[in-house]
Structure 1
Amino acid sequence: MKNIKFTDLDLSPAVLKAIEDMGFENPSEIQAESIPTVLDGFDMIGQAQTGTGKTCAFGAPIISKVDPNNKHVQAIILTPTRELAIQIYEELKRLSKHTKIRSIPIYGGQPMDKQISELKRGVSIVVGTPGRVLDHIKRKTLKLSHANFLVLDEADEMLNMGFIDDIETIINSTNEERQTLLFSATMPKQIQKLAEKYLKPDTKHIQILKKSLTVSKIEQFYYEIQNNARLETLCRILDADAPDSAIIFCRTKKGVDELVSSIQAKGFVIEGMHGDMKQTQRMSTLRKFKSGNLNFLAATDVAARGIDVENITHVINYDLPQDTESYVHRIGRTGRANKSGTALSLVTRKEISKLRQIEKEIKTKITKKQVPTLKDIMEAKSQNVISSIEDTLKAEDSYTKFIPLIENLSKKYSLESISAALLKDIFDREVSMDYEDNNLKVESSVRLFISVGRIDGINVKQLLEFIDNTSNVNSNFIGSVDILDKFSFVDVVDSKVQTILQNTSGKKYNGRRVNIEIAKGRSR
């Protein structure tokens, strides 16, 4: 496979010319295996990470087989997010530049009338999110009875977002003789069932192993933390390491919003991206991040799908992901184009076993690091400040106009005192938090007794949501959770105990009044 070229893959001359214009000669592994399979007419399951060239893997052969004189929609490509739909559309446009084939993206947040007008003009390929595609099918503005190709891209994420019913409705609207191409980074049982139900018996399964990530130049580290020190740990890391560009992953949309608000207040240039944000806001944020005008991007896993930025130096798992596949997918955002990258994870003691499982599955050691001390931060900042001052001193014309001010001050203070005062002002602006101690200070926690347990049908996730919804205390302030048959115990940081006692105790869960009190003899 290593020596194969695009010209060996029997693609149409127009597509080959477009690929040549893009500067590519050798296909990636997923492209080399998928393109002949699609051209031969087989249904296909492709397992590969984002950034491996999946769009060209299905786009190049589809464009080679589409008839530009046929005015019906001949290919429908479903994707979980608007950003990924736009990215795929732009790639298809480049691949079809020497043909008369038209593609359009359709997604929520864009005027329906404009999309209807584009569809009426006649298009060969539609790229869209399931909800908006289904809207057009119901309006009869999109007919898929002549669609010979159906692509499900990032199928696992579409199912995670609850699109399974929409997807099945769309599949049933297509030509029964269609060729179906399913791409998914992971293969959970739902995906397997979907494939068994809708793909042909001779379907080809192409799996690109994660070796391209595990042997890449990504350095992987973790910090063992207490949950209530998560924010300060992140601030210390950002102050000490000073990443040029980083994606910070949170588990939930609310977590993204809270982190962005907290970190912006510390002076960092950061914005968030998740599915509840308006399309214009998400695209604006992505443009700023890609152009380098935004240092940090906080995002959920789903929102980050389709982000392809080469110069990301760090990926930070503010919340550890649920599974190994998601971890690999996240850290693959850095270390691209043969560049080095760093992946950092904040891990509580109860998550260490999950981290060990990730290490085992990716066959890579994730090294433990100590949370930066104030001394570490000051040393890192000192190097940057001194380097900046030396650069200024070398350019005499840039500072000589300030010499009279220093001469006046020197009549009252020593030059050493003046310099130290100026440096203090610089460091006060440079360091994000007023760190009270050299080492990370962790707030003590209190163990609470809660009068609901397994017999009430509650699990850890539901209990955390119940506390959050009633007292607005999220899981960042909660440590260990033990669910027993008739009651539960929860470790909560000291500063949030009274908030939970006052707001959550007495509220009802599944019709039953919940009593909460400080557990006897247990505090941490």
Structure 2
Amino acid sequence: MNEYFKNYFEKLGFSEQTIIQSSVYEPLKSGKNVLGLSPTGSGKTLAFLMPTIETLQAGEGTQLMIIEPSQELAMQVTRIARNWAKLLDCKVLSLTGGANVKRQTESLKKRPEVVVGTAGRIKSLINDKKLKTNYVKTVIIDEADDLLQGETLTTVRQIINSCYSDIQLGFFSATETEILEELDKWFGNKIIEKFDVRNIDKTRGEVRHGLLEVLRSNRNKMLVRLTHIKEFKALVFFNQMNDLNKAYSYFVHEHYNNIAKLTSDQNKIKRQKAMEDFRLGRVKLLLTTDVAARGIDIPKLPAVINYDLPDNAIDYIHRVGRTGRMGEKGVVLNFGDDHDLRDLKNLLKDEEYTLQPIYFFKNKLVDNVPDQPKKPNSIKNNYQKDAKKVNSTKNKPAKRKKVESKFPSSKVNSNKKKKKNKHIKNKGMRKKWRDMSKNK
């Protein structure tokens, strides 16, 4: 390893390379094509950055191109790459959609040695002849299982075909899909050396995978309760943008200021602010879709919440990979009713996850809700309460007396007289009518 790189590596607090880093270092440095497979949070970014940047020649134009699936991941890799590239006086430029194209075009005139960007923007700049690929010698496809599918696969191939045929390729992913087994067929029959360390890598920390039974109508309230946990923050994943926006509107209406959202329809500034606020702890919950499920590194993130359960195991792997990175502890909370959680277990039956029920109790997440202790002498206390009720009933005046006491005595007597007089009057009239009939 370059002496400058070695010193900086140790300055970052690393004592040794991770398995994926040590496995691909020499092959990448020597120009070989590689496929690197390792768990989330195992240091894949440095695995492809260190050996490829070390071979750069300052002032020789763009030599390294890194393709990322999202703006957030491209910006994250750009920040890391700049710290390493400046050790060799090399420049790194980010090329992402949503950013100012004219500004990016002007920056390309400075001939950066490294470009990191999304596939669509890189292809557009190549087609416009703003990004020169004459000197590109290495292309890294990060999160390859995601990028190499659908229309993006075609775009990536077009980018690679715009470079020289003897270009070096590097593919990195946490999960393996069918296309990763056929890379030689899709990319010019190149010999690609595979390094799969997923079963031997031990960089993952202890992560609890909890099943939290909660109805959909109560999920927003549960999120609010979780924010009461000390030092708690979490990425909250939704399957649909519409459901995310509804939940976010609820929190805005209820004036909760510690919740933000990160979606693909936001502009670059809003997305950067949401990520920065979340990283710095200004907000406790960041609502997002799978746009933030891949590669995003948030140091010491304590939790991931699946507001909506993912549809496949690969999405679950990438979502939960945001926590428990580099040996840190974490927790995954899966929301759903009994049926949803049972389906999730079946979905992940082939994965090495232990899914257990989890509960929210007294502002804590617990595996079991403890039984509430009974109050001492409860029987005696109940007996005393019953005795007091009996005694109070005995001492109460009769209901009739209580009613009569509400009225003055004169009013009661006057009512009685009226009833008596009315009766006597009627009785006298009947006697008079009988006498009159006899006289007739």
> Above 0.5 in TM-score?
yes
Residue 36 of structure 1 corresponds to 26
C-alpha distance in structure 1 between counterparts of 2:138 and 2:54, whole Å: 12
- Look up the match of 2:307: 318
CA contact 1:245–1:311 (8 Å) conserved in 2? no
Q: How far did residue 39 of structure 1 move?
A: 1.8
Distance 2:23 2:294 in 1: 23
Q: Is the 8 A contact 2:75 2:94 kept in 1?
A: yes
Closer, same or farther in 2 for the Cα pair 1:297/1:88, shift >3 Å?
Answer: same
Q: Is the 8 A contact 1:43 1:200 kept in 2?
A: no
Give the drift of 1:162: 4.2
Structure-2 separation of matches of 1:38 and 1:152: 13
Matches for 1:221-240 after TM superposition, within 5 Å: 221-226=210-215, 228-229=216-217, 231=219, 234-235=222-223, 238=226
Contact 1:275–1:303 under 8 Å retained in 2: no
Aligned counterparts, 1:478-517, within 5 A: none
Contact 2:204 2:324 in 1 (8 A): no
1:338 corresponds, among 287, 306, 327, to: 327
Name the CA distance, whole Å, in 2 between partners of 1:276 and 1:185.
26
Deviations 1:217-241 (Å, cap 9, x if unpaired)?
A: 2111113455x43535634752675
Aligned pairs for 1:258-277 within 5 A:
258-268=246-256, 269-277=258-266
CA contact (8 A) 2:293 2:318 kept: no
Pairing of 1:378-397 with structure 2 (within 5 A): 379-380=362-363
CA contact (8 A) 1:39 1:65 kept: yes
Deviates most, 328-337 or 288-297: 328-337
Partner SS, residue 362 of structure 1: coil
TM-score for both structures, normalised by structure 1: 0.64
Unaligned runs of at least 5 residues, structure 2: 365-440
Deviation at 1:267, TM superposition (A): 4.4
The correspondence for 1:253, drawn from 238, 241, 245, is 241
| Aligned partner of 2:168 among 167, 179, 182 | 179
Alignment check: 8 A CA contact 1:214 1:362 kept: no
User: Aligned residue for 1:45?
Assistant: 35
What residue is the counterpart of 2:70 in the other structure? 81
Cα shift at 1:271? 0.9
Equivalent in 132, 135, 146 of residue 124 of structure 2: 135
Q: Is the 8 A contact 1:19 1:95 kept in 2?
A: no
1:56 pairs with 2:39: no
Pairwise CA distance, 1:191: 4.1
Judge conservation of contact 2:297–2:322 (CA < 8 Å) in 1.
Answer: yes
Greater relative CO (CA pairs within 8 A, separation 6+): 2
Unaligned runs of 5+ in 1: 1-10, 382-524
Matched, 1:14 2:4: yes
Stretch moving more, 136-145 or 235-244: 235-244
Whose radius of gyration is greater, 1 or 2?
2
1:26 paired to 2:16: yes
Please state how far the C-alpha of 1:198 moved relative to its aligned partner: 0.8
Determine which of 214, 218, 230 is the counterpart of 2:207.
218
Query: Is the alpha carbon distance of 1:50 and 1:369 closer, same or farther for their aligned partners in structure 2, counting shifts above 3 Å?
Result: closer
RMSD: 2.6
- State the secondary structure of the residue aligned to 1:98: helix
Letter in 2 for 1:77: I
8 Å CA contact retained: 2:211, 2:334 = yes
Q: 1:249 and 1:161, CA in 2 relative to 1: closer, same or farther beyond 3 A?
A: farther
Q: Structure 2: how far apart are the matches of 1:219 and 1:361?
A: 17
- Percent sequence identity over aligned pairs: 26
- Rounded to whole Å, the distance in 2 between the matches of 1:57 and 1:20 is 15
* CA distance, structure 1, for counterparts of residue 293 and residue 280 of structure 2: 16
* SS of structure 1 residue aligned to 2:69: coil
Aligned pair in 2 of structure 1 residues 68, 218: CA closer, same or farther (>3 Å)? same
SS of match in other structure, 2:296: coil
Q: 1:288 aligns with which of 267, 270, 277?
A: 277
| 2:88 alignment partner, SS class | coil
- In the alignment of these two chains, the number of paired residues is 363
CA distance in 2 between partners of 1:25 and 1:242 (Å)? 32
CA displacement at 1:76 relative to structure 2: 0.9
Residues 350, 123 of structure 1: CA spacing in aligned structure 2 closer, same or farther, 3 A cutoff?
same
- Contact preservation (8 Å) 1:76, 1:151: yes
Which digits, 9 at most, give the CA deviation of each residue in 1:110-131, with x for residues without a partner?
Answer: 2222211221121211111111
Match of 2:89 in 1: 100
Distance 2:346 2:204 in 1: 18
- Using the TM superposition, give the Cα deviation of residue 366 of structure 1 relative to its aligned residue in structure 2, in angstroms: 0.8
CA contact (8 A) 1:224 1:348 kept: yes
Report the alpha carbon displacement of residue 40 of structure 1 after superposing the two structures with TM: 2.8
Assess if the C-alpha contact under 8 Å between 1:248 and 1:316 holds in 2: yes
Structure 2 Cα separation of the partners of residues 161 and 205 of structure 1: 23
